[in-house]
């Protein structure tokens, strides 16, 4: 067998996103033992940086081994015991999954549903809490990557406290792309993933847990059904001063995350959020000029994941295949009921640049000209350029 050399790709799908060369370089640095004092300082650095981007003082703030889904599984398996009721917002793939995981833990998922693309109204969550008996937790997806909808969270934490429920939030796609205010919003368990707006390869799941949730977990009647993801055991490895062996940390991934978090810190969260907003506004303007319409209603759209309905003159699968094969551009198709109907374009972390937006729109225009559905070349680029025109040309680089 020969060396594997991946084809050049512009990753503009729902994840993974492009990774900064500094992060790739960090992954190639020599290994340390996972209990080496030098490695323990790397872990402490990660905890410090994660607390900053989660906006939390939570002592238990760690990077769990595994992708975003491991974060989801850990959040549920630690909190939910057999028979526990959990109110779950279901308006896309990831809410659906949360409900499934609750049921696999022997819990009762009380689904509060909304059409895909819509948000879960706070009033509907309140109604579910009021008509149900004791509820252990409310679980919501902040950025529903399957639909591009941005779930408001700020009023739910207080509701959870009134009903003595924990508040669990999936921030896999939102973290480092839009504000995630763990303490201010009263979130008890928040998990993310490295491969979306953190622009680090998939492999770790940042997780933060409130003292209130830790107390609930400590009082469990039954041991956590997962040994690998048991927070009470993992705490012994991440707790400064104890650092006892639980499982071997994925050393290179931890190096990568430290570097990715340093890049986030260097840019600064406000600038990073503004960059995501600007590039998404330009992309949306360009796509609108080509006849695409946004799936989520106005004001509910995510800047890092644009979900658009594909107009009837465009063949979903054919054009996505052309983008990949002729231009090396990856975008995402629709999932579940949205299969064949929408595109999911990710401008996450390193992928969110003006150059990438213009490259994608340019490729779409050329495909449109060659396929005969675009008669006025330049409309998308003009619309995007107008969105950028009030800001000076950025030095982008990929």
Residue number with CB closer to ligand PLP (92 or 291): 92
CA-closest candidate to residue 360, choices 391, 315, 333, 324: 324
Interaction of residue 68 with ligand PLP, rule CB under 6 A: yes
Residue number with CB closer to ligand PLP (256 or 285): 256
What tokens were used for 223?
A: 């041991």
- Number of residues engaging ligand PLP in binding (CB under 6 A): 15
Q: Are strands 108-113 and 85-90 parallel, antiparallel or unpaired?
A: parallel
Least distance from ligand PLP to the Cβ atom of residue 80, Å: 17
- Rg for the chain (alpha carbons), in Å? 21
Interaction of residue 195 with ligand PLP, rule CB under 6 A: yes
- The stretch near ligand PLP (CB under 6 A) out of 65-73, 122-130, 344-352, 366-374 is 65-73
Residue number with CB closer to ligand PLP (68 or 291): 68
Interaction of residue 12 with ligand PLP, rule CB under 6 A: no
Which residues in 163-192 contact ligand PLP (CB under 6 A)? 170, 172-173
Is there a contact between 307 and 117 (Cβ–Cβ < 8 Å)?
yes
DSSP category for residue 78:
H
Least distance from ligand PLP to the Cβ atom of residue 66, Å: 7
Per-residue binder mask for ligand PLP (CB under 6 A), 143-162, x = binder: x-x-----------------
For 236-287, the DSSP string reads HHHSTTT---SS---HHHHHHHHHHHHHHHHH-HHHHHHHHHHHHHHHHHHH
Per-residue binder mask for ligand PLP (CB under 6 A), 352-391, x = binder: ----------------------------------------
Residues forming beta bridges with residue 170, ordered by sequence position = 141, 191
Integer Cα distance of 307 and 43 in angstroms:
36
Least distance from ligand PLP to the Cβ atom of residue 191, Å: 8
Residue number with CB closer to ligand PLP (15 or 291): 15
Residue nearest ligand PLP by beta-carbon distance: 68
Integer Cα distance of 281 and 18 in angstroms:
20
- The stretch near ligand PLP (CB under 6 A) out of 64-72, 273-281, 291-299, 332-340 is 64-72
Per-residue binder mask for ligand PLP (CB under 6 A), 83-112, x = binder: -----------x------------------
Integer Cα distance of 113 and 172 in angstroms:
20
- Write the CB contacts of 13 (distance below 8 Å, at least 6 apart in sequence): 330, 331, 332, 344, 345, 346
Place of tokens 């990929």: 398
Integer Cα distance of 327 and 367 in angstroms:
10
How many CB atoms within 10 Å of residue 230? 18
Is 344 annotated to bind a ligand? Reply is yes
Least distance from ligand PLP to the Cβ atom of residue 276, Å: 15
Residue number with CB closer to ligand PLP (69 or 132): 69
Q: C-alpha distances in angstroms, 368 versus 265, 276, 363, 371? A: 40, 26, 8, 5
DSSP category for residue 17:
P
Interaction of residue 199 with ligand PLP, rule CB under 6 A: no
Integer Cα distance of 95 and 85 in angstroms:
15
Query: Residues 27, 62, 72, 251: which binds ligand PLP (CB under 6 A)?
Result: 72
Per-residue binder mask for ligand PLP (CB under 6 A), 13-52, x = binder: --x-------------------------------------
**Would you list which residues are annotated within the binding site for substrate?**
344
- Site for ligand PLP, rule CB under 6 A: 15, 67-69, 72, 94, 141, 143, 145, 170, 172-173, 193, 195, 202
């Amino acid at each position: 067998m020969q060396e594997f050399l991946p084809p050049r790709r512009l990753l503009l799908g729902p994840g993974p996103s492009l990774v900064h060369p500094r992060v790739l370089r960090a992954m190639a640095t020599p290994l340390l033992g996972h209990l080496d004092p030098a490695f323990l300082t790397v872990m402490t650095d990660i905890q410090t940086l994660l607390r900053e981007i989660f906006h939390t003082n939570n002592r238990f703030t760690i990077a769990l081994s595994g992708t975003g889904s491991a974060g989801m599984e850990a959040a549920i398996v630690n909190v939910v015991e057999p028979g526990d009721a959990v109110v779950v917002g279901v308006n896309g793939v990831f809410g659906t999954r949360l409900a499934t995981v609750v049921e696999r833990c022997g819990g009762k998922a009380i689904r509060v549903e909304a059409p895909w693309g819509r948000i879960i109204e706070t009033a509907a969550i309140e109604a579910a809490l009021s008509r149900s008996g004791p509820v252990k937790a409310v679980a919501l997806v902040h950025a529903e990557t399957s639909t591009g909808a941005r779930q408001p969270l700020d009023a739910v934490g207080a509701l959870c406290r009134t009903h003595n429920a924990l508040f669990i939030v999936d921030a896999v796609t939102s973290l480092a792309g839009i504000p995630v205010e763990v303490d201010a919003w009263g979130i008890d368990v928040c998990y993310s993933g490295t491969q979306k707006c953190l622009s680090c390869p998939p492999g770790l799941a940042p997780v933060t847990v409130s003292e209130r949730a830790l107390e609930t977990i400590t009082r469990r009647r039954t041991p956590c059904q997962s040994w690998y993801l048991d927070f009470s055991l993992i705490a012994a490895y991440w707790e400064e001063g104890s650092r006892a062996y639980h499982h071997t940390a994925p050393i290179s991934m931890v190096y990568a995350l430290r570097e990715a978090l340093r890049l986030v810190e260097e840019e600064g969260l406000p600038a990073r959020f503004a960059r995501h907003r600007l590039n998404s506004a330009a992309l949306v303007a360009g796509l609108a000029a080509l006849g695409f319409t946004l799936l989520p209603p106005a004001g509910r759209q995510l800047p890092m994941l644009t979900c658009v309905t594909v107009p009837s003159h465009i063949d979903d699968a054919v054009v996505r295949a052309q983008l990949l094969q002729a231009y090396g551009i990856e975008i995402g198709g629709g999932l579940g009921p949205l299969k064949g109907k929408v595109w999911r374009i990710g401008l996450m972390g390193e992928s969110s640049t003006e150059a990438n937006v213009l490259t994608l729109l340019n490729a779409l225009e050329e495909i449109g000209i060659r396929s005969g559905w675009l008669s006025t070349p330049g409309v998308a680029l003009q619309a995007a350029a107008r969105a950028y025109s009030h800001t000076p040309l950025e030095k982008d680089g990929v």
